[in-house]
């Protein structure tokens, strides 16, 4: 009798609540729409996801300050006129000694400041061009000068330190930087201009000049040939003097021409070769001092220019950092125009999801950024993306893209379904959840109604 009485009481209470206009309301997607709203429900399938993703959308980009680098141009070293050589006649000795410099202990060529590296990357052409062979072995080739900080500046990659590296080590460094910046690491690297290691040749030669040291060793006879050869009629007291690391070495010309091994003396970076036609040691010494002073002067100018460049880069970096901090502050204060997606219904938290800069976001990104779908209360069968028509004349036309998540594999589609600004993600509640909430809300009213009826 008690059960029957309670059932009758519950029925009477529900009739009473209904009569009073009190009922539990929960949101849902109504395909029939309501009023001026027209809702079209479409299942999310691989094909329909492609159709939905065709909706035009250009993600907002970060300001250019986030892509700019402090950079810095090439340092232009200073220079000046070489000091005039000092000539003082000396009596000739009875014979000339041969003092040969030691063989330099050099390994593979190491890249230095001033060298020009040639970076070749494959060109991308049409299929027709590739089939006809018009692009066979075609590369995009760009030269980069090693600047005074020892790095080359490559667009979209940044500054890559290469000074002091062998060509193989530089290729490895560049490969890692391209991988880090998500650029296809297919390239070739070679030294196009050798400007960092040089040997000066002066004195009685046809064309006093500076010979570069390249990937192959530079020998004395090759350096003299590069300067046009020796211009001396009397070989008795003519000699080749080599200044290296504070020491002067001497090879008489007649010994040079008669001994092949002397002609193949290997030269190294910084050597100064001077050909004397008479025994005038002070003249050679003046030439050596001239080269040393000129190198010191240029080095000082390089250091001053590099300090100036570092100061300028520091100022640029500070300005960029301040501009970026100001933008981030505006972002925190919500004063930056952003695109949002809104989450409602049975989601972990009712929220808005800011679409990222520079790329599109998927349904899975928006859902799981906010905790996903609570499986106890959310109906995984009814996950909707509500998208209005872009035509303002069709404001009430809404497409509800439905994801049925009963099969877990369906959530893979959520990673491919792209979001658009002002999309609304709605997750319906479980039927049992709706009934549980109805019971929890009407039970206090039934108890009050039963108590009132009992008292009467």
Least confident range from 5-19, 56-70, 164-178: namely 5-19
Q: Token pair of 95, please?
A: 């014979």
Q: Token pair of 391, please?
A: 């035509």
Angle at 47 between CA 42 and CA 50, to 5 degrees: 95
Using alpha carbons only, how large is the chain's radius of gyration in Å?
A: 41
DSSP label at residue 34: B
The span from the CA of 177 to the CA of 175, in Å, is 6
3-state secondary structure of 345: strand
For helices 431-455 and 2-19, the axis angle rounded to 10 degrees is 100
Q: How far apart are the first and last CA of the chain?
A: 19
Please state the rounded mean pLDDT for residues 188-211: 90
pLDDT of residue 84: 46
pLDDT of residue 72: 54
Q: Token pair of 77, please?
A: 């070293």
b/e per residue, 418-446, with b = 16+ CB within 10 A?
bbbeebbbbbbbbeebbeeeeeeebeeeb
List residues bridging with 340 in a β-sheet: 354
3-state secondary structure of 103: coil
List residues bridging with 154 in a β-sheet: 158
pLDDT of residue 20: 46
Q: Are strands 272-276 and 239-244 parallel, antiparallel or unpaired?
A: antiparallel
Helix (H) or strand (E) holding 275: strand 272-276
pLDDT of residue 417: 95
CB 154 within 8 A of CB 146: no
Helix (H) or strand (E) holding 188: strand 188-193
pLDDT digits (tens, 9 = 90+) for 216-270: 899 999 999 989 888 876 666 788 889 888 888 988 888 888 888 888 999 999 8
The CA-atom distances, in angstroms, between 213 and each of 203, 293, 298, 299 are 20, 21, 19, 19
pLDDT digits (tens, 9 = 90+) for 269-314: 989 998 887 655 566 667 667 777 777 777 878 788 888 878 888 8
pLDDT digits (tens, 9 = 90+) for 351-406: 999 999 999 999 999 998 888 888 788 888 999 999 988 776 666 688 999 999 88
pLDDT of residue 232: 73
Q: Considering the entire predicted model, what is its pTM?
A: 0.45
Please state the rounded mean pLDDT for residues 28-47: 78
Least confident range from 334-338, 382-386, 442-446: namely 442-446
The span from the CA of 177 to the CA of 170, in Å, is 11
Q: Which of 242, 232, 236 is nearest to 99 (CA)?
A: 242
**All structural domains of the chain:** 24-60+338-451 (3.10.560.10), 116-193 (3.30.1950.10)
The span from the CA of 416 to the CA of 422, in Å, is 18
pLDDT of residue 455: 67
């Amino acid at each position: 009798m008690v059960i029957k009485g309670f059932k009758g009481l519950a029925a009477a209470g529900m009739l009473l609540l209904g009569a009073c206009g009190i009922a539990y309301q929960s949101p849902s997607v109504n395909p029939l729409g309501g009023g001026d709203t027209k809702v079209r429900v479409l299942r999310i399938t691989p094909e329909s996801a492609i159709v939905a993703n065709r909706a035009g959308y250009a993600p907002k980009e970060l300001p250019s300050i986030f892509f700019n680098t402090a950079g810095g141009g090439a340092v232009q070293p200073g220079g000046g006129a070489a000091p005039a050589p000092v000539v003082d006649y000396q009596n000739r000795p009875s014979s000339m000694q041969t003092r040969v410099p030691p063989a330099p202990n050099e390994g593979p060529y190491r890249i230095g400041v001033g060298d020009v590296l040639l970076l070749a990357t494959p060109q991308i052409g049409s299929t027709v061009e590739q089939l006809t062979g018009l692009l066979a072995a075609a590369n995009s080739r760009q030269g980069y000068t090693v600047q005074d900080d020892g790095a080359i500046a490559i667009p979209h990659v940044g500054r890559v330190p290469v000074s002091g590296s062998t060509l193989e080590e530089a290729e490895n460094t560049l490969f890692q930087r391209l991988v880090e910046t998500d650029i296809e690491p297919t390239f070739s690297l070679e030294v196009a201009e050798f400007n960092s290691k040089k040997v000066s040749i002066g004195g009685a030669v046809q064309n006093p000049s500076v010979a570069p040291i390249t990937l192959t060793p530079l020998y004395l006879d090759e350096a003299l040939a590069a300067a046009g050869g020796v211009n001396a009629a009397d070989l008795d007291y003519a000699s080749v003097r080599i200044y290296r690391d504070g020491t002067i070495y001497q090879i008489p010309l007649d010994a040079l021409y008669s001994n092949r091994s002397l002609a193949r003396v290997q030269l190294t970076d910084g050597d100064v070769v001077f050909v004397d036609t008479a025994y005038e040691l002070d003249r050679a010494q003046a030439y050596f001092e001239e080269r040393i002073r000129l190198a010191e002067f240029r080095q000082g100018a390089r250091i001053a220019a590099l300090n100036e460049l570092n100061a300028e880069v520091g100022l640029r970096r500070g300005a960029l950092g301040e501009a970026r901090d100001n933008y981030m502050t505006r972002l925190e204060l919500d004063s930056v125009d952003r695109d949002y997606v809104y989450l409602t219904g049975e989601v972990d938290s009712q929220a808005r999801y800011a679409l990222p800069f520079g790329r599109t976001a998927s349904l899975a990104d928006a859902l799981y950024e906010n905790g996903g779908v609570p499986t106890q209360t959310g109906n995984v069968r009814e996950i909707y993306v509500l998208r209005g028509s872009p035509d303002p004349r069709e404001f009430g036309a809404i497409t509800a893209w439905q994801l049925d998540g009963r099969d877990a594999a369906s959530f893979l589609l959520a990673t491919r379904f792209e979001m658009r600004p002002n999309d609304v993600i709605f997750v319906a509640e479980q039927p049992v959840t709706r009934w549980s909430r109805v019971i929890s809300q009407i039970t206090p009213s039934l108890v009050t109604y039963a108590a009132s009826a009992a008292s009467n």
